[in-house]
Structure 1
Amino acid sequence: MRLTLIQGDITTQEVDAIVNAANSRMRGGGGVDGAIHAAGGRAILDDCVQRFPHGLPTGQAGWTTAGELPADWVIHVVGPNWNAGQRDPSLLAACYRNALAVADELSAQTMAIPAVSAGIYGWPLEDAARIAVETVRSTPSKVEEARFVLFSKEIHAAFEAAAAE
């Protein structure tokens, strides 16, 4: 698998699947989640309601339509909320492993991935980047390109440092 890092807007990526850092209710929210729902339109929320009537637990992943996004699917992962005391690194790693497993189920060859839990959920950035890069690199998958799409220069720099290790 080729791992790439770019600074940019995940909602504009032309990939098979876009990973969404969702909340456990699966009804949209702020940050990446809000941006994906806004850009993809109502179809994503409608699919979330139908496919996940009770939401998803932390660390799990599931897919929906991508609506109006330039992708085929959105793979929703529920990241751990550091600020709410969810500090088990295995939960964050599970998000990436489960996203790759769902991508394989969908036969997705390319995927765009945000920095899960590193924003509003408060996971320390360097640790979040290390867990993300190590997990994606070490998880067997048929995905050809895992593209981390990072919103700010600071997040991009942290992921570059993690990728260089």
Structure 2
Amino acid sequence: MTATTRNLGKFILLNGRCSISIHHGSVVDFSPPTHLRLASAIVNAANERCLGGGGVDRAINMAGGAALKADRCALPILPDLEYNEHLTLVDSLCDNEGAISTDKIEKDDVRCYTGDSKITGPGQYGDLKVPFVIHAVGPNYFHYSGEKGDSLLSSAYSSALQQAKAKNIQCVAFSLISSGIFRGRCTLSHVLKIGVTTIYEFMQKHHFPLEIHLYAFTSDEACELMDVASEILEDQSSKDNYTNEADVIID
């Protein structure tokens, strides 16, 4: 870790098979343990074009350099037909009569659907210390109903974890997805609970060792994330059939 990253706590889960660590800082600065360096990734909060945006997406692009930008450009553009089928599930894109308003989307620019993820790597990505970057697209809650947005947010987290599992990536550092302006009228606590819950449920379902790191960029996010993680993980641990389910180390 760099001097700009503060480690807030670590939850050791599922008899030590998995862990979730909370950090205050930028996911760009994440440095995996030496023994997991080749099996590590960061998760970028991307948009559907998957080429770059603002905030953490821009920071990751800059740190990843030309190699990361080239790999992102190489992600295949999704077929129009497939995307039109996807749109039928999105209520917020319907007009008053229920017709799909496809003119709201630049279809030929879409490389990743909302609620899904894509992976780039392995590669040597500039100043990034991981060989893989997973690009997860969370919902813009201004464009979705609360229930639909929640489903897509959970899907974005679980899709990123599926990408990691498929590549045998055992160490994953997440930026917080849909936690800024895109959370709309949702509280910060609400979207963070979805993320932490989804990650923990994935750990329970899949017998796959995972070391997860969650990065909160602002002080408010860091405090809220630590509260949410403590509430969810300590509560869930009492329901499992494991001893010493959640050993919590607070720095």
TM class by shorter-chain length?
A: over 0.9
Q: CA deviation at 1:83?
A: 2.6
Q: Find the aligned partners of 2:46 and 2:195 in 1 and give their Cα distance.
A: 16
**Is 1:36 aligned to 2:97, yes or no?**
no
Aligned to 2:163: 102
**For residues 7-43 of structure 1, what are the alpha-carbon distances to aligned partners after superposition, in whole Å with 9 as ceiling and x for unaligned?**
0111111131000000001110001111100111122
**For residues 90-126 of structure 1, what are the alpha-carbon distances to aligned partners after superposition, in whole Å with 9 as ceiling and x for unaligned?**
1000111111100011111111101100113135311
**Is 1:154 aligned to 2:178, yes or no?**
no
**Is 1:50 aligned to 2:74, yes or no?**
yes
Q: 1:103-122 counterparts in 2 under 5 A?
A: 103-122=164-183
Contact 1:109/1:144, CA 8 A, preserved across alignment: yes
Identity %: 32
Length, aligned pairs only: 165
* TM-score, with length taken from structure 2: 0.63
**Is 1:75 aligned to 2:141, yes or no?**
no
Contact 2:183/2:191, CA 8 A, preserved across alignment: no
Instruction: Supply the RMSD in Å over aligned alpha carbons.
Output: 1.5
Q: Find the aligned partners of 2:197 and 2:211 in 1 and give their Cα distance.
A: 15
**For residues 31-77 of structure 1, what are the alpha-carbon distances to aligned partners after superposition, in whole Å with 9 as ceiling and x for unaligned?**
11111001111222211121233411001011013512100100000
Q: Which runs of 5+ in 2 are unaligned?
A: 1-17, 33-39, 78-109, 232-251
What SS class does the counterpart of residue 62 from structure 1 fall into? strand
Return the match for 1:135 from 198, 208, 224.
198
Q: Find the aligned partners of 1:86 and 1:55 in 2 and give their Cα distance.
A: 23
Contact 1:31/1:119, CA 8 A, preserved across alignment: no
Q: CA deviation at 1:85?
A: 3.3
Q: Which runs of 5+ in 1 are unaligned?
A: none
**For residues 111-151 of structure 1, what are the alpha-carbon distances to aligned partners after superposition, in whole Å with 9 as ceiling and x for unaligned?**
11011001131353111110011110111342421100110
* TM-score, with length taken from structure 1: 0.93
What SS class does the counterpart of residue 223 from structure 2 fall into? helix
Q: 1:47–1:149: structure 2 CA closer, same or farther, 3 Å change rule? A: same
Q: Find the aligned partners of 1:52 and 1:143 in 2 and give their Cα distance.
A: 30
Q: Find the aligned partners of 1:120 and 1:99 in 2 and give their Cα distance.
A: 21
